[in-house]
Amino acid sequence: MARRLPRISLVRAYEAGRQDCGYRVLVDRLWPRGVKKEDLPLDEWAKDLAPSPGLRRWFGHRPERWDEFRQRYTEELRSRPEAIGRLLKVAARRRVALLFGARDVEHSHAVVLWEFLQSERSGSARPTVSEAG
C-alpha cells in the first residue's frame, strides 16, 4: 500500500489569516501589497522559489504569455534543486501551504510551483486554492 504524503495547498496571502494550514511558505519574491508583516504568520519566505525578477517583469500577469511563462518558470525551478529539495523534505513530514499574493490564481506562478512539487513527489492532482486550510 502506498504511503500518503501530507498535502501541499495554495493559499492566497490575503486570506491566510491565522488558522492552521501547516508549514507556511511565502513563495513570492515581493511582499504582498497591503499585508503587514505581523499579520502574515510565516515559517519561511522562499524568495528563491519565486520567478526571477526578469521573468516576473516579462510575464506581467498577462494571460496571453501564460504558456511560455510556465515553460520558462519550470526551467528556473529545475535549476534550483536545493530549494526544491528543502521544501519537499518539509512536505514529506507535514502539510505545507504555499502563500502567494496574485489576484489571478489561475495564472499565478504558485500554480506552476505546486504542479512542479507534485510532479517531484509523483502526484497528479490539480491544485485547489484554500482560504486557510
Q: What's the pLDDT band for 106 if we cut at 50, 70, 90?
A: very high
Does the structure show a pLDDT above 50 at 49?
Answer: yes
The domains of the chain are located at 8-130
Decide the pairing of beta strands 129-130 and 44-45. Answer: unpaired
Q: What's the pLDDT band for 129 if we cut at 50, 70, 90?
A: low
Does the structure show a pLDDT above 50 at 131?
Answer: no
